Amino acid sequence: MKRRIVLLYNNRLFSGRHMERYDFSNGVTLMKHILRITVMIVILFAGGTSFGQSTTHSALLVIDMQKDLLTPGRAGMKMDSPEIAVFIDNVNDCIRRADSMNIPVLYIQNLLNPLFSFFSGNVCRRGDPETGLDPRLAVVDSLVFEKSMPSSMSNRQLVRFLGERNITTLFICGIKAPACVKATALDAIRQGFTVRLVSDAVASNTPGQTGSVISLLAKKGVLQVDTLDYGEARWSTP
Protein backbone atom coordinates (compact mmCIF):
# COMPACT_ATOMS: atom_id res chain seq x y z
CA MET A 1 0.00 0.00 0.00
CA LYS A 2 1.36 3.39 -0.98
CA ARG A 3 1.88 5.97 1.76
CA ARG A 4 1.41 9.67 1.04
CA ILE A 5 3.89 12.17 2.45
CA VAL A 6 2.12 15.00 4.25
CA LEU A 7 3.87 18.32 4.90
CA LEU A 8 2.90 21.41 6.83
CA TYR A 9 4.25 24.26 4.77
CA ASN A 10 3.49 27.97 5.12
CA ASN A 11 0.73 27.02 7.60
CA ARG A 12 -1.05 24.88 4.98
CA LEU A 13 -1.30 21.12 4.78
CA PHE A 14 -0.08 19.54 1.55
CA SER A 15 0.19 15.96 0.40
CA GLY A 16 1.85 14.43 -2.63
CA ARG A 17 -1.07 15.13 -4.94
CA HIS A 18 -0.81 18.87 -4.31
CA MET A 19 2.89 19.21 -5.06
CA GLU A 20 2.34 19.57 -8.83
CA ARG A 21 0.73 22.94 -8.17
CA TYR A 22 4.17 24.42 -7.51
CA ASP A 23 6.46 25.39 -10.36
CA PHE A 24 9.87 23.96 -9.47
CA SER A 25 11.37 24.54 -12.93
CA ASN A 26 13.51 27.32 -11.49
CA GLY A 27 16.48 25.66 -9.77
CA VAL A 28 16.85 28.38 -7.13
CA THR A 29 13.18 28.16 -6.22
CA LEU A 30 13.44 24.39 -5.92
CA MET A 31 16.44 24.61 -3.61
CA LYS A 32 14.67 27.16 -1.37
CA HIS A 33 11.68 24.84 -0.97
CA ILE A 34 13.94 21.86 -0.24
CA LEU A 35 15.86 23.86 2.37
CA ARG A 36 12.68 25.04 4.12
CA ILE A 37 11.20 21.54 4.17
CA THR A 38 14.46 20.13 5.55
CA VAL A 39 14.47 22.69 8.35
CA MET A 40 10.88 21.80 9.26
CA ILE A 41 11.72 18.10 9.41
CA VAL A 42 14.73 18.75 11.65
CA ILE A 43 12.59 20.87 14.00
CA LEU A 44 9.91 18.19 14.08
CA PHE A 45 12.29 15.42 15.12
CA ALA A 46 14.27 17.62 17.53
CA GLY A 47 11.16 18.30 19.57
CA GLY A 48 10.47 21.83 18.35
CA THR A 49 11.28 23.65 21.60
CA SER A 50 14.14 24.18 24.00
CA PHE A 51 12.47 21.74 26.38
CA GLY A 52 12.81 18.84 23.95
CA GLN A 53 16.45 19.29 23.05
CA SER A 54 18.27 17.37 25.76
CA THR A 55 15.94 16.81 28.70
CA THR A 56 16.57 13.05 28.53
CA HIS A 57 19.96 13.76 30.14
CA SER A 58 18.23 15.11 33.26
CA ALA A 59 16.49 13.55 36.24
CA LEU A 60 14.50 14.95 39.15
CA LEU A 61 15.30 13.67 42.64
CA VAL A 62 12.39 13.96 45.09
CA ILE A 63 14.04 13.55 48.47
CA ASP A 64 12.42 12.15 51.63
CA MET A 65 8.86 13.30 51.00
CA GLN A 66 7.60 10.79 53.56
CA LYS A 67 4.49 10.91 55.69
CA ASP A 68 6.21 10.85 59.09
CA LEU A 69 8.66 13.59 58.08
CA LEU A 70 5.82 15.83 56.93
CA THR A 71 3.64 15.39 60.01
CA PRO A 72 3.69 18.37 62.43
CA GLY A 73 4.51 17.45 66.01
CA ARG A 74 6.78 14.55 65.16
CA ALA A 75 10.55 14.74 65.01
CA GLY A 76 10.24 15.55 61.36
CA MET A 77 9.10 18.88 59.93
CA LYS A 78 8.18 21.47 62.54
CA MET A 79 6.43 23.78 60.10
CA ASP A 80 2.73 24.52 60.55
CA SER A 81 0.25 22.48 58.52
CA PRO A 82 -0.63 25.32 56.08
CA GLU A 83 3.06 25.88 55.34
CA ILE A 84 3.58 22.19 54.73
CA ALA A 85 0.58 22.09 52.38
CA VAL A 86 1.99 24.97 50.30
CA PHE A 87 5.40 23.29 50.20
CA ILE A 88 3.90 19.98 49.02
CA ASP A 89 1.98 21.83 46.31
CA ASN A 90 5.27 23.32 45.09
CA VAL A 91 6.92 19.91 45.05
CA ASN A 92 3.96 18.49 43.11
CA ASP A 93 4.22 21.34 40.59
CA CYS A 94 7.88 20.47 40.22
CA ILE A 95 7.10 16.78 39.67
CA ARG A 96 4.43 17.50 37.05
CA ARG A 97 6.75 19.98 35.37
CA ALA A 98 9.48 17.36 35.03
CA ASP A 99 7.04 14.66 33.93
CA SER A 100 5.64 16.92 31.19
CA MET A 101 9.19 17.31 29.85
CA ASN A 102 9.87 13.55 29.97
CA ILE A 103 12.42 14.03 32.73
CA PRO A 104 12.55 10.87 34.90
CA VAL A 105 11.18 11.47 38.41
CA LEU A 106 13.11 9.48 41.02
CA TYR A 107 11.67 9.22 44.52
CA ILE A 108 14.16 8.85 47.39
CA GLN A 109 13.12 7.25 50.70
CA ASN A 110 15.11 7.45 53.90
CA LEU A 111 14.76 4.13 55.76
CA LEU A 112 16.61 3.43 59.00
CA ASN A 113 16.95 0.33 61.15
CA PRO A 114 15.10 0.55 64.51
CA LEU A 115 18.23 1.51 66.49
CA PHE A 116 19.16 4.49 64.30
CA SER A 117 15.49 5.43 64.04
CA PHE A 118 15.25 5.59 67.85
CA PHE A 119 18.04 8.17 68.01
CA SER A 120 16.43 10.23 65.23
CA GLY A 121 13.06 10.53 66.98
CA ASN A 122 11.50 7.30 65.67
CA VAL A 123 11.08 8.59 62.14
CA CYS A 124 12.03 6.82 58.91
CA ARG A 125 11.89 3.46 60.70
CA ARG A 126 12.08 0.60 58.25
CA GLY A 127 8.84 -1.39 58.20
CA ASP A 128 6.74 1.43 59.66
CA PRO A 129 3.87 2.32 57.28
CA GLU A 130 4.28 5.97 58.30
CA THR A 131 7.62 6.05 56.48
CA GLY A 132 5.96 5.65 53.07
CA LEU A 133 5.59 8.46 50.57
CA ASP A 134 3.17 11.11 51.78
CA PRO A 135 -0.28 10.46 50.23
CA ARG A 136 -0.46 14.12 49.17
CA LEU A 137 2.60 13.66 46.96
CA ALA A 138 2.13 13.38 43.20
CA VAL A 139 3.47 9.98 42.12
CA VAL A 140 4.07 9.78 38.38
CA ASP A 141 6.56 6.93 38.34
CA SER A 142 7.42 3.79 40.29
CA LEU A 143 11.13 4.58 40.50
CA VAL A 144 11.86 4.59 44.25
CA PHE A 145 15.37 4.36 45.68
CA GLU A 146 16.14 3.77 49.36
CA LYS A 147 18.92 5.28 51.42
CA SER A 148 20.08 5.10 55.02
CA MET A 149 22.65 7.88 54.75
CA PRO A 150 22.01 11.62 54.22
CA SER A 151 23.16 11.62 50.60
CA SER A 152 20.92 10.01 48.01
CA MET A 153 24.09 9.32 46.01
CA SER A 154 25.07 6.74 48.63
CA ASN A 155 22.67 4.36 46.87
CA ARG A 156 24.80 2.56 44.29
CA GLN A 157 21.75 1.38 42.37
CA LEU A 158 20.72 5.01 41.90
CA VAL A 159 24.18 5.99 40.68
CA ARG A 160 24.19 3.02 38.30
CA PHE A 161 20.73 3.97 37.02
CA LEU A 162 21.89 7.51 36.27
CA GLY A 163 25.02 6.28 34.51
CA GLU A 164 23.20 3.74 32.35
CA ARG A 165 20.85 6.46 31.09
CA ASN A 166 23.61 9.03 30.50
CA ILE A 167 21.99 11.42 32.97
CA THR A 168 24.32 14.34 33.67
CA THR A 169 22.01 16.93 35.27
CA LEU A 170 20.08 16.46 38.52
CA PHE A 171 17.20 18.64 39.64
CA ILE A 172 16.65 18.37 43.38
CA CYS A 173 13.59 19.03 45.54
CA GLY A 174 12.40 17.76 48.92
CA ILE A 175 13.55 17.82 52.55
CA LYS A 176 15.44 18.62 54.67
CA ALA A 177 17.55 21.39 53.25
CA PRO A 178 20.40 21.33 55.83
CA ALA A 179 20.64 17.55 55.83
CA CYS A 180 19.74 15.23 52.98
CA VAL A 181 19.16 17.92 50.33
CA LYS A 182 22.53 19.56 50.97
CA ALA A 183 24.37 16.24 51.28
CA THR A 184 22.88 14.96 48.01
CA ALA A 185 23.68 18.15 46.10
CA LEU A 186 27.31 18.32 47.26
CA ASP A 187 27.86 14.61 46.69
CA ALA A 188 26.40 14.84 43.18
CA ILE A 189 28.73 17.73 42.34
CA ARG A 190 31.71 15.69 43.56
CA GLN A 191 30.60 12.88 41.26
CA GLY A 192 30.56 15.21 38.26
CA PHE A 193 26.85 15.99 37.90
CA THR A 194 25.39 19.38 37.13
CA VAL A 195 23.01 20.14 39.99
CA ARG A 196 19.98 22.43 39.87
CA LEU A 197 18.08 23.14 43.05
CA VAL A 198 14.36 23.89 42.79
CA SER A 199 14.52 26.64 45.39
CA ASP A 200 10.81 26.89 46.23
CA ALA A 201 10.44 23.10 46.45
CA VAL A 202 12.99 22.47 49.21
CA ALA A 203 12.27 23.07 52.88
CA SER A 204 13.38 22.55 56.44
CA ASN A 205 12.10 23.34 59.93
CA THR A 206 12.48 27.09 59.38
CA PRO A 207 12.79 29.36 56.33
CA GLY A 208 16.10 30.61 57.73
CA GLN A 209 17.63 27.14 57.58
CA THR A 210 16.47 26.68 54.00
CA GLY A 211 17.75 30.08 52.90
CA SER A 212 21.19 29.47 54.39
CA VAL A 213 21.52 26.17 52.54
CA ILE A 214 20.39 27.69 49.25
CA SER A 215 23.06 30.40 49.61
CA LEU A 216 25.74 27.86 50.50
CA LEU A 217 24.94 25.59 47.57
CA ALA A 218 24.94 28.54 45.17
CA LYS A 219 28.54 29.24 46.21
CA LYS A 220 29.39 25.60 45.48
CA GLY A 221 28.13 25.89 41.92
CA VAL A 222 24.57 24.64 42.35
CA LEU A 223 22.28 26.44 39.91
CA GLN A 224 18.79 27.49 40.93
CA VAL A 225 15.41 27.21 39.24
CA ASP A 226 11.93 27.44 40.68
CA THR A 227 8.51 26.04 39.89
CA LEU A 228 7.53 29.31 38.18
CA ASP A 229 10.30 29.09 35.57
CA TYR A 230 7.90 27.76 32.94
CA GLY A 231 9.25 28.45 29.48
CA GLU A 232 12.72 29.28 30.79
CA ALA A 233 15.83 27.65 29.32
CA ARG A 234 17.09 26.98 32.86
CA TRP A 235 14.80 23.94 32.98
CA SER A 236 16.55 22.40 29.97
CA THR A 237 19.98 20.87 30.22
CA PRO A 238 23.08 22.47 28.71
Packed helices 182-190 and 207-219: angle between N→C axes, nearest 10 degrees: 10
Which DSSP state fits 177?
Answer: I
CA distance 149 to 157: 14
* 14 and 128 co-located in one domain: no
Q: Are residues 112 and 220 in the same domain?
A: yes
Distance CA 166, CA 187 (A): 18
Report the distance separating Cα 109 and Cα 126, nearest Å. Answer: 10
Tens of pLDDT, residue by residue over 92-118, are 999 999 999 899 999 999 887 554 544
- If asked whether residues 18 and 71 sit together in one domain, one would say no
- Which residue(s) pair with 6 in the sheet? 15
Residues of the chain with pLDDT under 70: 1-56, 73-78, 113-125, 127, 230-238
**CB 164, CB 196: distance < 8 Å:** no
What is the helix (H) or strand (E) element at residue 147, kind and residue range?
strand 144-147
Is 41 in the same domain as 58?
no
Please return the burial class of 181, using the count of CB atoms within 10 Å of its CB with bins 0-12, 13-18 and 19+: buried
Residue 1 lies in a domain: no
Q: Which domain holds residue 95?
A: 52-235
